[in-house]
Amino acid sequence: MPAEIIDGAAVATKVRAEVAIAAAALAKHGIVPGLTVVLVGEDPGSMVYVASKEKACLEAGMHGETIRLPASTSQAELLAVVDRLNADPAIHGILVQMPLPKQIDSQTVIRRIAPQKDVDGFHPVNVGKVLIGDRDGFAPCTPWGVQVLLEAYGVKTTGMECVIVGRSNIVGKPMASLMVQPGAHADCTVTICHSRTRDLASHTKRADLLIAAIGRAEFVTGDMIRPGAVVIDVGMNRVDDATAKAGYRLKGDVHFESAKQVASLITPVPGGVGRMTIAMLLKNTVRAAEMTAPAIRAGA
């Protein structure tokens, strides 16, 4: 029997509705959650993604702003912009869109963002808090979105063998940090696989929960999946296709057609994890705004 398809778009819509309610509650106290995205250069994919973030903010009743800088911007100039945003009390979340031009060191920029405004969850302080299970930190949006999808579909993760294919700082490592924590929607035994893993299939075949985030189109095939496993595809790869209107199609890291014949639950690409990333970014921004007003956060 083919797998049930996880509708990431529907879950993301629900999360965004919850964000709008929280933003409206803050507005009654004169606080409008503010997210500023900084875009350096004109990478086509980044420009589309940034525009969708700004639109999502406005739809949720939040303040969404995009600062566009030329590709020639120096590291010092970008850091000065970050410093200004750090000091602005009306801005609760700061996101510097990656990738950055070669003259700018991304880690230096990430470390310059105030941890309490790092709604992307990439500052070392927030990375550390996620690792130790401190809920005051901000979890990276994509891994947190995966966890929310699992919750929405009633996946009982306690005791599961969770195998993550990919060890990036954006998805693989923080995903492992979340799933190994004690508590609901986690409590897994976690294995991280990567490009140097020997006999990858021997690991993926024992996974109750398989999360693919390796950045290679249709890399995980149905014969690498244990029957009945839950499969989460984080990949988003452009594959040339002359028959498509855009000249390409989006493919995940999982070969969907073969995997859905084996899995019990599976995310599609597009329409799966990708929709959750922006939704969780908005949720992190509202949380950041609430943390500036403890009385409101406590429900006073």
Q: What is the mean pLDDT of residues 36-52?
A: 86
pLDDT mean across residues, the chain:
94
Q: Tell me which residues are annotated as active site.
A: 53, 97, 120
Which is it for the CA torsion 40, 281, 169, 213, positive or negative? negative
pLDDT for residue 135? 87
Structural element, H or E, at residue 93 = strand 93-96
Strands 248-251 and 237-240 come out as antiparallel
Of all residues in the chain, the percent with pLDDT exceeding 70 is 98
Please determine, for residue 288, whether its predicted confidence score (pLDDT) is greater than 70. Answer: yes
pLDDT for residue 216? 95
Give the E-state strand segments of 171-294 in sequence order: 189-193, 209-212, 230-233, 237-240, 248-251, 265-266
Say if CB 273 and CB 233 are below 8 A apart: yes
Give the side-chain half-sphere CA count within 13 A for 158: 5
Domains of the chain in start order, with CATH, are 29-119 (3.40.50.10860), 141-276 (3.40.50.720)
Q: Would you place residue 49 in the very low, low, confident or very high pLDDT band (cuts 50, 70, 90)?
A: confident
Please determine, for residue 297, whether its predicted confidence score (pLDDT) is greater than 60. Answer: no
Strands 4-5 and 63-69 come out as unpaired
Please determine, for residue 197, whether its predicted confidence score (pLDDT) is greater than 90. Answer: yes
Please determine, for residue 300, whether its predicted confidence score (pLDDT) is greater than 50. Answer: no
